[in-house]
Amino acid sequence: MWVDLSDGRTLSVPLAWFPRLLRASPSQREEVTISSRGLHWEELDEDISVEGLLAGKGDQTRPGPKVEAA
């Protein structure tokens, strides 16, 4: 996925970071609402913040690896 930011930067983000988008049809992916805060797909119940993209964060709803206390 390519995201063009208003400051002229373009981000390239793997769809694999966002399983709902990866499984969606091309027409479902096209139904995106863009705001100053990020991207939203109503039908897919997916929200991606610009802040998260800039930080290199993928889907935050997936559980991360368990870290055991030493």
Any idea which of 14-18, 29-33, 63-67 has the lowest mean pLDDT?
63-67
pLDDT value of position 47:
94
Comparing C-alpha atoms, which of 34, 28, 27 is closest to residue 53? 34
- Confidence class for position 62, pLDDT limits 50, 70, 90: low
- Reported as a single tens digit per residue, the pLDDT across 23-58 is 999 999 999 999 888 999 999 999 999 999 998 888
CB 46 within 8 A of CB 21: yes
